[in-house]
Amino acid sequence: MFWKFDLHTTSHIDTLLEKEDVTLTEVMDEEDVLQECKAQNHKLVDFLLRPQCMDDLVTFITQEPNADVEEKVKYKYPNISCELLTSDVGQINDRLGEDDNLLMKLYGFLQNEPPLNPLLASFFSKVLSILIGRKPEQIVEFLRKREDFVDLVIKHIGTSAIMDLLLRMLTCIEPQQLRQDVLNWLNEEKVIQRLVDMVQSSQDEDRHSNASQSLCEIIRLSRDQMFQVQGSSDPDPLLATLEKQETVEQLLANIFDKEKNESAIVSVIQILLTLFETRRPAFEGHMDCPPGMSHPLFSVNHSILEAVRPRLKDFHQLLLEPPKKNLMKTTWGVLDPPVGNTRLNVVRLVASLLQSNTHTINTELINLNTLGVILDMYFKYIWNNFLHIQVEICTAMILAMPPAPTLSPNGQTDAEQDYARESILIKHLFEKCQFIQRILDAWTSNEKEQAEGGRRRGYMGHLTRISNSIVHNCDKGPNGPQIQHIISELPGEDRDRWESFISGQLSDTNKRNTVDLVNMHHIHSSSDDEVDFKDTSFHQDSSLQQAFSDYQMQQMTSNFIEQFGFNDEEFADQDDVVDIPFDRISDISFSLNTNESANIALFEARCKEKIQQFEEAGSDEEDIWDEKDVSFAPEAQRRPSSGSTDSEESTDSEEEDVKRDPFEVPGLSTDDRMDVDTAECDGWSPANQSPLSSPAQRLSSPEAEEEEAASEQRSVTETVINGSMKETLSLTVDAKTETAVFKRLEQWPHGHRLAFHGVRMALTHVESCFNIPDNQQIVIKTCSSNAV
């Protein structure tokens, strides 16, 4: 292989570094400088570790390039400098992490006025992050000595790279005790409170977004760490601060007590939604509770709910009067006002609050009629599927959750009355909001519009699922009796419409929504109607079907792989394989089912035609009917191929008929042919073949033909050669029964290609010995022992 040869050429960097006056920029201009650095080229690393080179590298990533430099190469050296410093070379990390002068130059980048150059900020953050991971003790000690570090981070929180640096300090510091010390230090510096202050209308959107994202990630990272480090006695101080009631109240005051700002409102709601998470969702819009299924009580910090409950009226008012939005022109009409990001996130917040299943929260939502307002939005904005899925989640929670537990006078949960009470949310939804009637009216209105040539409304798919959720929970949900009672108390007309709707339009829609898989069986949405495929019959030949069934019933034992298909050793050089598994392979019997009368008639007609030709040839020639011994030439003397034109081996047609191997198949190479063991071929000649043999085969004489036809069997022994392996086969032809039987005379290695090669050759020679029509079959019979 190519790596056996010394084709490595000396890098041009080595030659360049031999110059006494080589500069850093000259080295950085080399194309392979990064590869050589990561490969820890000693000359290059020693050069980069020079004090002046390290100082220049840090300068490149912390200072703005000259304005007169061409734009496309303006950040070439800063980018290469960052890659060199973060190539994770131990000597570079040690020099950079232990040199206070270099660290102060690096830290000086934070002391620039905002906004920071985002590209240089990413270089700075990347270098400092790898130092935090590789030299945590030195870097943490250095940063704690800088009294303005937290202030500067909060000051530049609008730059995403700085936000990433803050989060890196929470995730990449080990050991655990050092991380706990960092958390305590950041909490003492009031980093949570400072981030909360960034989320208010007086700040720009970048600060809103990054501060909100930082707080959300702190919540998630802290909770993940708590789950991963079980038994840790030290709580996470940052998470504890975030979950305090006063912290949440400050967040809400920032958006409600000051000028309304959509960016700030959405950012605060994102933080609240993260606080309400018990575990991170798998994807956007994912629910832990599928519609129509029961859900356990959702555990949320009580202090968070207590801080949110007084502000529910403010969130409700946002649904009625969102921040001013300009009208939106769409392909189907004008939205004035559109739903907007504010109201959509308020609905998401309501869904999370309902999931907490808290009695005080549920009661406040009912008193405000927040659910009624949300339903109004659902039916008004018929094409906003982001809104529709959130409303579906809300209704699914209400239908599937058991009644919320209440608090007894002593402040404890009154568990004894939990199952005796009815859900106040269900009562409000069906009675005050007229849930059933609104579904029926919307469905009827949609059908009317479609009948007039209009389009199907965008919420109909969600409305179908909501209706199915009602039906499911009415039958199997925890609130089934209450739902059934409410439906039975509906006015007679509405009750009849609902029952007709369930059995009619809803049932038809569900049938249309089922998937018809390859025109066989319908896959129903209900798991009750399962199809048993075990009794499915296939119209196949019974023997093939039985063979396939037997194959399927095989046990997956250790021998299964060896007995199925080919082994890896079959494709290797057999001389190198010393551990081939052996198995016993049987005699192989080929039964030829042919039309006897038709073939005999064809054979006789062909013989007469051949004899007539010979009689017309004249009497001066040698008598072709004289019996003579037929000997098979050795392999080396055999004709190399049927298509050869070599003059030395070309004879007349009669000599070819005598010399040609009766088992030779045109088109096969010499490696694929059988060698004939002449020692065991006495008495065999082409005349000894079956009456079904090819007309091209020679016959001895009519008398000899009758004598040979009377004999029962003739046999020949042949040897199959494949590379270095050899196998001896015995061929026995029975003219009366029209069978040809092949037997092995010694052990075949199981799984070896030679065995299959022999069977293939056997089939080929049987086909050449008998004139088998295309519509006939060769049946392989398995003998009593050593079967293939």
pLDDT at 684 over 50: no
Comparing 123 with 11, the larger pLDDT belongs to 123
pLDDT at 101 over 80: yes
The whole-number pLDDT of residue 672 equals 43
Output DSSP code: residue 414: -
Predicted confidence band at 579 (pLDDT cuts at 50, 70, 90)?
A: very low
Q: Which residues contact 426 (CB under 8 A, 6 or more apart)?
A: 398, 399, 479, 482, 483, 486
Q: Which residues contact 95 (CB under 8 A, 6 or more apart)?
A: 49, 54, 102
pLDDT at 252 over 90: yes
Output DSSP code: residue 749: P
Sign of the C-alpha dihedral computed for residues 371, 376, 382 and 384 taken in this order? negative
The whole-number pLDDT of residue 540 equals 46
- What CA–CA distances, in Å, run from 232 to 157, 474, 534, 542? 31, 45, 53, 67
Beta bridge mates, 586: 786
Comparing 72 with 251, the larger pLDDT belongs to 251
DSSP string, 606-656: HHHHHHHHHHTT-SSS--TTS-----PPPGGGS-S-TT---GGG---HHHH
**Mean pLDDT over residues 23-45, rounded?**
93
- Residue 441 identity: D
Instruction: Give SS3 for 663.
Output: coil
Average per-residue pLDDT in the chain? 75
Comparing 45 with 324, the larger pLDDT belongs to 45
**Mean pLDDT over residues 361-377, rounded?**
96
Is the Cβ–Cβ distance between 382 and 459 less than 8 Å? yes
Is the Cβ–Cβ distance between 106 and 124 less than 8 Å? yes
What tokens were used for 131? 């130092």
The whole-number pLDDT of residue 405 equals 85
Instruction: Give SS3 for 211.
Output: helix
**Mean pLDDT over residues 260-283, rounded?**
82
What tokens were used for 538? 């296939």
pLDDT at 495 over 60: yes
**Mean pLDDT over residues 273-288, rounded?**
58
**Mean pLDDT over residues 111-127, rounded?**
95
Predicted confidence band at 213 (pLDDT cuts at 50, 70, 90)?
A: very high
Is the Cβ–Cβ distance between 298 and 356 less than 8 Å? yes
pLDDT at 119 over 60: yes
The whole-number pLDDT of residue 553 equals 54
Is the Cβ–Cβ distance between 523 and 517 less than 8 Å? yes
- What CA–CA distances, in Å, run from 328 to 334, 572, 591? 6, 71, 83
Give CA torsion, residues 451, 453, 455, 456, to 10 deg. 10
**Segment holding 460, helix H or strand E:** helix 460-476
pLDDT at 658 over 50: no
Comparing 661 with 108, the larger pLDDT belongs to 108
The whole-number pLDDT of residue 683 equals 41
Comparing 716 with 67, the larger pLDDT belongs to 67
What tokens were used for 430? 């069906």
pLDDT at 570 over 60: no
CB-CB neighbours of 574 under 10 Å: 17
Comparing 625 with 200, the larger pLDDT belongs to 200
The whole-number pLDDT of residue 692 equals 38
Exposed/middle/buried for residue 677 (C-beta within 10 Å: 0-12, 13-18, 19+): middle
Residues of the chain with pLDDT > 70: what percent? 60
**Mean pLDDT over residues 378-395, rounded?**
95
The whole-number pLDDT of residue 230 equals 62
DSSP string, 464-522: HHHHHHHHHHHHHSTTHHHHHHHHHTS-HHHHHHHHHHIIIIIHHHHHHHSEEETTTEE
Predicted confidence band at 102 (pLDDT cuts at 50, 70, 90)?
A: very high
Report the alpha-carbon distance of residue 309 to residue 365 in Å, rounded: 9
Most confident segment among 430-434, 586-590, 677-681: 430-434
Comparing 637 with 622, the larger pLDDT belongs to 622
- Residue 590 identity: F
**Mean pLDDT over residues 348-353, rounded?**
96
pLDDT at 344 over 50: yes
pLDDT at 423 over 60: yes
The whole-number pLDDT of residue 75 equals 92
DSSP string, 332-384: S-EESS--HHHHHHHHHHHHHHHHHT-HHHHHHHHHHTHHHHHHHHHHH-TT-
**Mean pLDDT over residues 143-161, rounded?**
94
pLDDT at 625 over 70: no
Q: Which residues contact 486 (CB under 8 A, 6 or more apart)?
A: 426, 427, 430, 431
The whole-number pLDDT of residue 217 equals 94
Predicted confidence band at 631 (pLDDT cuts at 50, 70, 90)?
A: very low
pLDDT at 745 over 50: yes
Comparing 234 with 548, the larger pLDDT belongs to 234
Length of the chain: 788
Range name among 110-114, 234-238, 467-471, 674-678 with the lowest pLDDT average? 674-678
pLDDT at 444 over 90: yes
The whole-number pLDDT of residue 604 equals 79
**Mean pLDDT over residues 726-746, rounded?**
63
**Mean pLDDT over residues 100-127, rounded?**
94
Report the alpha-carbon distance of residue 738 to residue 741 in Å, rounded: 10
